[in-house]
Amino acid sequence: MKMLGEFTGVENRPERNVHVEISEMGLSSAIAEPQTQILPESVKRYELAESHENGGSIWDLRIVTSSGAISFYRTKSKFDLALLLDELDGTIGERERVIATANV
């Protein structure tokens, strides 16, 4: 199973158990598949999918770019996901969001 991100606190910005970089220069996540630096101008939309594993919900954030889709982040927490989306919107501007449900 792919590692899950987890919100761990706030000092100057949201903190997580995995490294996530969100800047005007690029986006990256230690748990992204494939591992790549994403240029903000290439981001077309976000795809959010809920799956069910071991009796709980898992939220996946995929970033769709002009070159394809990247599985960027995975978490059990809707709050963590909402904070991440707020960080993305605040840093690179708002993008379309598509919500899908996948039962795994």
What tokens does 24 get? 């005007």
Q: How far apart are alpha carbons 40 and 22 in whole angstroms?
A: 9
Instruction: Please report the DSSP string for 24-77 in residue order.
Output: SS-EEETT-BS--PBPGGGEEEEEEEEEEETTEEEEEEEEEETTEEEEEEEES-
Please write the tens of the pLDDT for every residue from 45-59: 999 999 988 888 999
CATH number of 7-101: 2.30.29
Whether residue 4 contacts residue 29, with contact meaning beta carbons closer than 8 Å, is answered with: no
Could you tell me the residue ranges of all domains in the chain? 7-101
Please write the tens of the pLDDT for every residue from 67-94: 999 999 999 999 999 999 999 999 999 9
pTM: 0.88
What tokens does 54 get? 């071991």
